[in-house]
Each structure stands twice: as structure tokens, then as C-alpha cells.
Amino acid sequence: MKAELLWWGRFDPEYSRNRILRSLLEKNGLGLRDFRPQSSLLGSIEAAIRRPDPGDALWVPCFRHRDFNSARRYADKYRLKLIFDPLISSWDKVVHERGKYHIDHSKAKTLLQWERSLFARADIVVADTRPHADFFIDQLEAPASHTHVVPVGAEETLFTRQLPKIYSNSPEILFFGSFIGLQGPQHIVEAARLVPEVRWTLLGDGPLRNHCEALAKDAPNVLFEDWIAYRKLPGRIAQADIVMGIFGDSPKAGRVVPNKVYQALACGRPVVTRESTAYPPELQANPSSGLVFTAPADPNALATEVSNLITRPEGLSALATQAGNTYEQYFSMTQTELGLLKVLSDLNL
């Protein structure tokens, strides 16, 4: 009889992190059940009425901090382990990324205490990178021996190597994202103004898009596109010569490997992104890996890297090939599955 996991909370099953992990769990023989309460706050009451089958363990997916306490109570009732895959820290996001509260503000301290109470009571914590795992352990009191790294990866049924790019005299630099501070899209626009001979396209929407459009108002080489259907994204990546990663200078930005990096590499396109210890050291030291690193929040450095790349189209073509190789060696679903198997081993399932 196969083991079953109860996924608990008001999560989005279509979010890429959730889809990837759920597909890998099912691939490895686990059954999945969902309990998605109408209210996170009243989740325990709804569970008492609906009585979802607890299965063999509970999984609280990414961003569902508010569902943790009701899930913990249900897991305790049936003496089951609880796996917490937060992906982010609420305290880190509010204090360090958004700067809403100073670290010594009473509300910041209250938020930290609340979040520590979640991480400390999880039986197993899942992080997307090693630096994030260390942060969860050191700052949020996650259980050190039961915190595992499971990389984000890319959905390989969708993001596959695209046809080689035919390089022209008007190469395109593509950014796609939600225009948040962690991504640093404003730095991309400022770099674009320094390299006017290149077409820079920023695709998506979010808090900083209006600001970016204002920065680019007299820069005809900077274009903006609205979101496209997710399934069309690989084809759009294939049209670009170089894909932009993230360039924010927050501590969190230095701990993550974002979806767009995985997806672009899987499609075989070179990526320029901020330097970060989240990447293997050998990639950071290899200028031919298909990943090009630059200083965070530094438009001049970014512009220099792009200028160097576009002046050597034959080198750019080789980097595109190597980008796909780098994905397969370091970032493929195989790596994600290996991390997930360690979680399952810890569960004894």
C-alpha cells in the first residue's frame, strides 16, 4: 500500500514549485490528497468538520505560513510528521527586502518570534538553496538535521532546449518577471540606456513596472511587453539572445536561484545575473558556463557584461550551447528529485 501525503493550506496547485514537487512525489510512488480550507485562520475548525484523511504525513507548501498552525495541530492529533516548504521568510521579506520595519521595531521582533515558532515546530523543513537552508537554521531555528535542500528547477515538459538562435546585428536582451525589488528591473533599464545599440525587452508586470517605464521614456531601445501565457514562455525565451536574471542587492536576492534562471538555461539561452553563493563555486569561476555573473544593483557592471557578450557573436553562440549543458549538469529535475528523496528518507516513507 503506497504512502500518502496530505497537502494542507490555501496553496496554488498550479504554481511551478508545487507542480514540480507534486509530480516528483507521484513519480516516486506517493499518493497526494489536498485540504484547502476556506480560511487559514479557521482551518482547524473546517478540518474538524470535513475530517480530511491525514494520510502518512502533512505537507505545508510554499508561502503558506498562515496555514502552518492548523496543520501542526492536525498532524499532532494523528501523530504525523509535518513537512514545511516555505520558500521564503516572511520576516526577511518585510524587514530586509521591503524595508517596512526596522529590524529593531517591535512589529519586526513580533514577526520574527512568530515565524521562529513555525520553523522550530516543523519536523522537516525544505529550502530551495543551501544559503536559504542556512538562513532558516541560523535565523529562524529550523531543525538543522532535518532541513533539506530541494532546488526549484524548471518544468522540463515545457522548458526544453530551443532551436539555436540565428544571431543578427540587433540582438535582444530579455527580462521576464514580476517587477519586484528582488529582481532589480530598474537596474536593467539603467544598463539598457548605456547600451543603446541593443534591444532590451522587459516582459511582465508588477510594482516597479511604472517606475521602469518612466526611466525608459526617452530610451527607444527599451520595450515593454505584457504577460503571455505560461506555455508560450519557452518560445519567447527562444527569441532572445541573452536572458536577464535578478539584480537586487537584498540579502534574500543573494540566497536564491530564481525560476527564470532555471527556465532560460533549460531553453539553452545564456543568462546574466547577480553574483550569489547560491550557485556552485565552479560555475562562478567558469566564464564559459552559460551563466555570467555581475555585481548586484550595478547598472554599469551589467552594461559592461552585456557589451562584452554582444561583441562576440560566435562566443555567444557557444555560451548558448553551454547554458543547456550547465542546466543538465547542475540544475535539472534530477537534482530536484535527489533533494526530494532525502526528504522522503527523513520521513521513512
Mean pLDDT (whole number) for 82-91: 97
DSSP 161: P
C-alpha cell at 208: 516597479
Q: Distance between CA atoms of 87 and 129, rounded to whole angstroms?
A: 9
pTM of the model: 0.94
pLDDT score recorded for residue 315: 82
Q: Distance between CA atoms of 158 and 121, rounded to whole angstroms?
A: 36
pLDDT score recorded for residue 1: 66
Same domain? For 259 and 210 the reply is yes
Tell me if 158 is assigned to some domain: no
φ and ψ of 157, to 5 deg: -75, -15
Mean pLDDT (whole number) for 56-67: 98
302 against 349, higher pLDDT: 302
Tell me if 164 is assigned to some domain: no
φ and ψ of 340, to 5 deg: -65, -35
Confidence grade of residue 170 (pLDDT, cut at 50, 70, 90): confident
Domain residue limits at 256:
172-331
Residues facing 294 on adjacent strands: 274
Residue 335 has pLDDT above 70, yes or no: yes
Cβ neighbours of residue 92 closer than 8 Å, sequence gap 6 or more: 135, 139, 251, 252
Same domain? For 119 and 224 the reply is no
Confidence grade of residue 169 (pLDDT, cut at 50, 70, 90): confident
C-alpha cell at 28: 516516486
Same domain? For 138 and 217 the reply is no
Same domain? For 115 and 184 the reply is no
Residue 113: count of CB within 10 angstroms of its CB:
10
Q: Distance between CA atoms of 182 and 97, rounded to whole angstroms?
A: 7
Share of the chain above pLDDT 90, in %: 93
Q: Distance between CA atoms of 188 and 76, rounded to whole angstroms?
A: 48
Residue 327 has pLDDT above 80, yes or no: yes
Tell me if 159 is assigned to some domain: no
Same domain? For 261 and 191 the reply is yes
Same domain? For 143 and 200 the reply is no
Instruction: Tell me what the pLDDT averaged over the chain comes to.
Output: 96
Confidence grade of residue 167 (pLDDT, cut at 50, 70, 90): confident
Same domain? For 129 and 200 the reply is no
**CA-based torsion, 73, 74, 79, 83: positive or negative:** negative
Same domain? For 218 and 340 the reply is no
Residues facing 292 on adjacent strands: 272
Mean pLDDT (whole number) for 156-178: 90
DSSP 332: S
Same domain? For 211 and 128 the reply is no
Tell me if 161 is assigned to some domain: no
User: pLDDT tens digits for 234-292?
Assistant: 999 999 999 999 999 999 999 999 999 999 999 999 999 999 999 999 999 998 999 99
Mean pLDDT (whole number) for 301-322: 91
Same domain? For 179 and 100 the reply is no
φ and ψ of 60, to 5 deg: -100, 110
Residues facing 172 on adjacent strands: 199
Indicate the number of domains in the chain. Answer: 2
User: pLDDT tens digits for 66-84?
Assistant: 999 999 999 999 999 999 9
Same domain? For 210 and 293 the reply is yes
Tell me if 162 is assigned to some domain: no
Same domain? For 247 and 124 the reply is no
Residue 306: count of CB within 10 angstroms of its CB:
25
Tell me if 165 is assigned to some domain: no
User: pLDDT tens digits for 95-153?
Assistant: 998 899 999 999 999 999 999 999 999 999 999 999 999 999 999 999 999 999 999 99
Mean pLDDT (whole number) for 8-33: 96
Tell me if 166 is assigned to some domain: no
Give the CATH number, domain containing residue 323. Answer: 3.40.50.2000
